């Protein structure tokens, strides 16, 4: 089922809606039409106790003022583009610089999306749409984007992204949820597995160097479960640059068209496990290194390393790296991406 509620007003008086997806197990996903944002994901622990495992705010005003992208749909281009510029067919496009010298994410999480309940008898489902107009943030083309959220009886939150354009452009969409499976404390004891033999080392402004570096023998080897805190402060140049983990991992794909396992996170204290499945080539593992205590919501203060992100996406700065999987979208094409967050407990 879906329940619709009010979610407060933005500074200009526009009222936001909150859509609550609920399955028969009692799992809930809360989504607002401001930023197509996942506001809350409530999942049970091994004893059947439910808690919200995502970071966020109490009403839409928090999301309007917030700077951490909590739960938002980000775009046009998730992650960074070097120097805030790229070229297509010999034409240079200059983007807004919003992350030092670079462009980061874009404004989709600060935009109003239209929302439609498209539930089926099997699962509650909502579709949100947004039109990013020609030259928005400097990008070419009118880009029509949609994201659908659906909650299954297997405690899977499914996210389906879609984009079309009327002019050749680049696009990279993702959801930017922050997770803490214990719903309290820090995330250093969480055990993480990443199905990735390689990661992308980055320069001082966190732009990929273009190299695919093996995780073998490094603190970036999560092929077997490791506690986040076990190596996060190792004497490693990449960890020092990012103040922890904030890197793209190159996912090992089986070549199948459907979503495959990309990551698993487990909290030993509560037994909660989050598995991430995706069709995308990469996953950004971020350990909340820039949460500085200035953000508050849901009765919490968001401080250093209290939440982590597993953002499935194409690689950062792909338009400037021909050796990376392309993010170019042509007129007449449909860019689709599928993500599943599966909650369980043991």
Active site residues: 176, 311
How far, CA to CA in Å, does 42 sit from each of 107, 108, 138?
Answer: 26, 24, 37
How far, CA to CA in Å, does 279 sit from each of 161, 253, 256, 262, 313?
Answer: 11, 9, 9, 9, 9
Q: Is 231 helix (H, G, I), strand (E, B) or coil?
A: coil
Do 137 and 76 touch, CB atoms closer than 8 A?
yes
Do 307 and 187 touch, CB atoms closer than 8 A?
yes
Q: What are phi and psi of 83, to 5 degrees?
A: 65, 10
Question: For the chain, how big is the Rg over CA atoms in Å?
Answer: 19
Do 178 and 246 touch, CB atoms closer than 8 A?
no
**Cα-Cα-Cα-Cα dihedral sign, residues 235, 238, 239, 243:** positive
172 DSSP 8-state letter: B
Do 197 and 214 touch, CB atoms closer than 8 A?
yes
């Amino acid at each position: 089922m879906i329940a619709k509620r009010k979610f407060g007003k933005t500074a200009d008086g526009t009222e936001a809606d909150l859509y609550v997806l609920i399955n028969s197990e009692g799992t809930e996903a809360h989504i607002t039409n401001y930023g197509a944002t996942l506001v809350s994901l409530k999942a049970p622990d091994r004893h059947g106790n439910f808690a919200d495992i995502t970071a966020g705010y109490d009403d839409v005003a928090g999301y309007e003022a917030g700077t951490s992208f909590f739960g938002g749909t980000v775009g046009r281009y998730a992650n960074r583009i070097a120097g805030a510029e790229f070229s297509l067919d010999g034409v240079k496009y200059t983007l807004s610089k919003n992350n030092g010298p670079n462009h980061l994410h874009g404004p989709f999480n600060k935009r109003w999306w239209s929302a439609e309940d498209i539930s089926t008898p099997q699962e509650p489902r909502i579709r949100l749409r947004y039109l990013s107009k020609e030259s928005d943030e400097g990008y070419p083309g009118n880009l029509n984007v949609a994201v659908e959220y659906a909650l299954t009886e297997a405690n899977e939150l499914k996210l389906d992204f879609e984009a079309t354009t009327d002019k050749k452009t680049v696009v990279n969409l993702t959801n930017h949820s922050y997770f803490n499976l214990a719903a309290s404390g820090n995330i250093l004891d969480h055990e993480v597995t990443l199905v990735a033999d390689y990661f992308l080392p980055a320069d001082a402004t966190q732009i990929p160097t273009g190299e695919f570096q093996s995780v073998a023998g490094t603190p970036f080897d999560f092929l077997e479960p490791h506690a986040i805190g076990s190596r996060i402060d190792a004497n490693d140049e990449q960890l020092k640059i990012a103040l922890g983990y904030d890197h793209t991992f190159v996912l090992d794909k089986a070549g199948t068209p459907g979503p495959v396992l990309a990551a698993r996170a487990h909290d030993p204290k509560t037994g909660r496990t989050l598995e991430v499945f995706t069709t995308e080539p990469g996953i950004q593992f971020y350990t909340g290194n820039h949460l500085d205590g200035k953000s508050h919501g849901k009765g919490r203060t968001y401080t250093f390393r209290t939440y982590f992100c597993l953002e499935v996406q194409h690689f950062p700065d792909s338009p400037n790296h021909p050796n990376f999987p392309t993010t170019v979208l042509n007129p007449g094409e449909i860019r689709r991406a599928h993500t599943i967050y599966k909650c369980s407990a043991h």
